Structure 1
Amino acid sequence: MEETQTYVTSSPRLFTWKDVGLHMGKGHPQQERWLVINRKVYDISQFHRQHPGGSRVISHYAGQDATDAFVAFHLDKALVRKYMTPLLIGELAPDQPRIEPHKNKLLVQDFQELRATIERMGLLKASGLFFFLYFLHILLLEAVSWIILWYFGVSPVPFFISAVLIATAMVQNGFLQHDLGHLSVFSKPKWNHLGSHFVMGFLQGGSASWWKHLHNQHHAKPNCFHKDPDLNMHPLLFALGKKLSVELGRKKKKYMPYNHQHKYYFITMPPFLIPVYVAFHTVFKAIQRKQCVDLAFSLSFVIRFILMYKPLLGVMGLLMFHELVRVLQSTWFTWVSQMNHIPMNIDYDKNMDWFTTQLQGTCNVHPSPFNDWFTGHLNFQIEHHLFPTMPRHNYWKVAPLVKSLCTKHGIEYQCKSLITAFADIVRSLKESGELWLDAYLHK
């Protein structure tokens, strides 16, 4: 605070990009973390622990320019800046470039102009009717699922059809929670947060806080090893990416026979991600962090599910029904969530500009009414990653502008069919597994 007062009452402290780059936290003697937003230098060494979006997501930008990430993640920037004032320790010296020297200045400027353009076009404003109808169709799926069991009984056919319908509702719930978690449904963040807890907890049985903590990091540094938590669980089961697979091989690490990972993927990740990993991890973290709100919402889901289906199915039938629903939900979700990232470039953080970082780690799937619904508009993964708070129904409007910017700067804009996207998951696993084996067998 003393440094802040000095800044306000006298000349600001001046820094170079090199000064900022030395304060990355890890490896620094005092574990200091600095970052830059619009040429202002902030010390987040203590604040990162209180950061509402999570400690790690803001720390991933320590020693770097976080301007575009800051703009992408925050709706009410004026309010956020009030909390940033005590963290301000100075600014970049006048002779320092506005953009980090190693980055493409023209690309960064063009992207920031694109961002300003979509704001003027109103593409960050949500359609209440779209999300109301979307929520209504989820409730309809749940209602029809219950009615089928109530009317036709628990013989195998209605049992399975009902499970498919409720699993579909669960997947679509997940997509809606994703919208709420990105603050893209309501204009006020608090309503998005409340809606996220309701949908993720009461309707899904999960933890909104757990999701936010991990997913924000994924968006900040997609496909960056040690920074994207979606990669952290993989080394025990899969060798991902060309570079990391070779590293595992050279280190003689063989947790699994990775050269066969494209085969065992089908019986590991898709059916068990949600019923095993997510189910355990969400409850464990909620208890560990004493997140009573998340636990209460999760408990409300369990009570709701029992009250709805136990009278129709009995105890054993209820357990079988629940697990079948979770396996179906997990299979659907896993294929959709992995198709945009696993086949893409996976590497350590190279501190590239926001636009390049997102384009290297994401790809799209051709739009169509079915693809849009089936993927929850995550077939527009590029646009979603560039503008995470944009309501999904506006992705198709901004896509041509993003493509144009890619063409101008010679950046590949990958868009493929849904089947090709799924096949590319298996293909990339096969390729990285072969790279691991070759490195493992040779010095």
Structure 2
Amino acid sequence: MAITEVGIYAHLTPGDVEALGRELDAIRRDIEDQRGTRDATYIRRTITFQRALDAASRLTIALSRGKTGWLLGTAGLAVAKSIENMELGHNIGHGQWDWMNDPEIHSATWEWDMAGLSAQWRYSHNFRHHVYTNVLGMDDDIGFGVMRMTRDQPWRPRLLLQPLQNLFLAATFEWGIALHDLYSERDRAATPAGKAAQTKLFATKIGRQVGKDYLLFPLMSGRRWRRTLAANATANIARNLWAYLVIFCGHFPDGAEKFTPAALEEESKAEWYLRQMLGTANFDAGPTLAFLSGNLCYQIEHHLFPDLPSNRYAQIARRVRALCEKYDLPYTSGPLLRQYLLTLRTIHKLALPDTFLTATSDDAPETASERKFHNDPPRAAADIDGPTGRRGLVSALRAAGESPRLHLKAGRSPVASQQISRVGARRLSPRRRMKKDA
């Protein structure tokens, strides 16, 4: 069972959760007050750089005669497509630059260089994914409808092929996302005519995208059309692999938790913040890697503030880390390779039926709930306070390492212990009762 009581799982009192929310609100206000010329200059320079790199790479492919020129041009084109996809298309589509009131750099007008339609992506991603992050049955991005990424998703025989599906999805990621967004938009359409209209818009975008990369540019190359066609296909696959890697490492490593729909009952803004912090993961990156990932190495910060400028995420991350330490919460991050290997382990492990898995759906590296803390006896305050005097999830998980049976088993503070005992007695307590009892 995924997490139902977010505050209880985090070992924070309702007062702590609301205090955390106020401090995150303060970060938002500070960044909004600081936005200005520096940020506008950043995004305009990024657009100029991306377009120049795209043009230079295509010229290199078309004019060079040897393999070295083709490789350099193709690599440059893949980088240009990655920047356009993540630092531009993704972040502009989130409305991060709408405050500039520039009709070109606006979420309502920007159309990205991807198979999917930006308007369809905005509903699927900005609403269904970001509002309901990692909520089972509501966030379609948990496995994108084809992968099993938590034990709370039922196993089916077809999932035995999940490792191969994963490879196919990685290579064709833009097409998988495009279809995912189309189905989400069609589900929202109220009438058959509305569904047909969305399909027509999707087909039109596909025609433009395929025509540009696989007809127009190869034809412009004349007798060397095969060279250009191969370069475009290779650059698209490389961009797909990179986008897949960044997205999966931000959502599926160990520590990126999942939630039941009951977690949304009377969810406050502060509880929404906490759910975002618990449901996402970062990977370590310097300035260059951060730029190439669209600053989505800061996935925690992005989910907290999806509409704040991406060039501010490194600045925001320092303050979010400090808050995690203050409230004794985990700040899930690690080297990119490590985060992906953890994700890959989950993909391969969950391809198997549950009878082959040893941990439970309440206490596994990729799936957890507040139930795993239910049977632990309370500890003395001196044993359970975190480094700042506040007993939170980090202390609970650290105590888990003392158990030879479950590496995530832990004690709790008296307040959390009382709350969790009520969860065990009633199985899943409604949030309004938790607030009343607090």
* TM value normalised by structure 1: 0.64
2:75 and 2:182 map into 1 onto residues whose CA distance is 25
Alignment of 1:353-392 (within 5 A): 353-392=271-310
TM-aligned CA deviation for residue 214 of structure 1: 0.9
Alignment of 1:259-408 (within 5 A): 261=162, 263-264=163-164, 267-274=167-174, 276-278=175-177, 288=195, 290=197, 300-302=208-210, 304-305=212-213, 306-312=215-221, 319-343=229-253, 344-349=256-261, 350-351=263-264, 353-408=271-326
2:202 and 2:348 map into 1 onto residues whose CA distance is 38
Alignment of 1:124-163 (within 5 A): 125=35, 127-153=39-65, 156-163=67-74
What is the DSSP-based 3-state SS (H/G/I as helix, E as strand, rest coil) of the residue aligned with 2:251? coil
Which of 240, 246, 254 is 2:157 aligned to?
254
Amino acid at match of 2:168: T
Q: 1:108 to 1:348 in 2, by over 3 A?
A: same
Q: 1:347 to 1:295 in 2, by over 3 A?
A: same
TM-aligned CA deviation for residue 412 of structure 1: 1.0
Larger mean CA deviation between 263-272 and 132-141 belongs to 263-272
Amino acid at match of 2:334: K
1:196 and 1:148 map into 2 onto residues whose CA distance is 33
Tell whether the 8 Å contact from 1:184 to 1:391 is kept in structure 2 after alignment. Answer: yes
2:348 and 2:182 map into 1 onto residues whose CA distance is 33
Tell whether the 8 Å contact from 1:173 to 1:199 is kept in structure 2 after alignment. Answer: no
Amino acid at match of 1:220: V
Tell whether the 8 Å contact from 2:282 to 2:300 is kept in structure 1 after alignment. Answer: yes
1:330 and 1:361 map into 2 onto residues whose CA distance is 24
Q: 1:191 to 1:108 in 2, by over 3 A?
A: farther
- Give CA deviations for 1:127-164 in whole Å, capped at 9, x if unaligned: 111111111221122112111122214x5543343332
Alignment of 1:103-118 (within 5 A): 104-118=14-28
1:309 and 1:197 map into 2 onto residues whose CA distance is 28
TM-aligned CA deviation for residue 434 of structure 1: 5.1
1:222 and 1:283 map into 2 onto residues whose CA distance is 19
Amino acid at match of 1:400: R
Larger relative contact order (CA 8 Å, sep ≥ 6): 2
Tell whether the 8 Å contact from 1:108 to 1:355 is kept in structure 2 after alignment. Answer: no
Which of 167, 186, 191 is 2:98 aligned to?
186
RMSD of Structure 2 on Structure 1 (CA): 3.4
Unaligned runs of 5+ in 2: 1-11, 187-193, 359-438
1:372 and 1:195 map into 2 onto residues whose CA distance is 22
Amino acid at match of 2:301: E
Larger mean CA deviation between 176-185 and 427-436 belongs to 427-436
2:284 and 2:33 map into 1 onto residues whose CA distance is 21
2:222 and 2:134 map into 1 onto residues whose CA distance is 43
Query: 1:239 corresponds to which residue?
Result: 148
Amino acid at match of 2:81: M
- Give CA deviations for 1:31-52 in whole Å, capped at 9, x if unaligned: xxxxxxxxxxxxxxxxxxxxxx
Larger mean CA deviation between 177-186 and 119-128 belongs to 119-128
Tell whether the 8 Å contact from 2:95 to 2:107 is kept in structure 1 after alignment. Answer: no
TM-aligned CA deviation for residue 289 of structure 1: 5.3
1:422 and 1:356 map into 2 onto residues whose CA distance is 24
Tell whether the 8 Å contact from 1:206 to 1:298 is kept in structure 2 after alignment. Answer: yes
TM-aligned CA deviation for residue 410 of structure 1: 2.4
TM-aligned CA deviation for residue 265 of structure 1: 5.5
Q: How many aligned positions are there?
A: 326
TM-aligned CA deviation for residue 392 of structure 1: 1.0
Which of 116, 123, 129 is 1:213 aligned to?
123
* TM value normalised by structure 2: 0.65
- Give CA deviations for 1:267-293 in whole Å, capped at 9, x if unaligned: 22211222x424556678699452577
What is the DSSP-based 3-state SS (H/G/I as helix, E as strand, rest coil) of the residue aligned with 2:197? coil
Larger mean CA deviation between 125-134 and 380-389 belongs to 125-134
What is the DSSP-based 3-state SS (H/G/I as helix, E as strand, rest coil) of the residue aligned with 1:326? helix
Tell whether the 8 Å contact from 2:61 to 2:231 is kept in structure 1 after alignment. Answer: no
Tell whether the 8 Å contact from 1:186 to 1:192 is kept in structure 2 after alignment. Answer: no
Amino acid at match of 2:148: A
- Give CA deviations for 1:309-337 in whole Å, capped at 9, x if unaligned: 32216665555444323221111110111
Q: Percent identity?
A: 18
Q: 1:365 to 1:283 in 2, by over 3 A?
A: closer
TM-aligned CA deviation for residue 382 of structure 1: 0.7
TM-aligned CA deviation for residue 117 of structure 1: 4.3
TM-aligned CA deviation for residue 123 of structure 1: 5.8
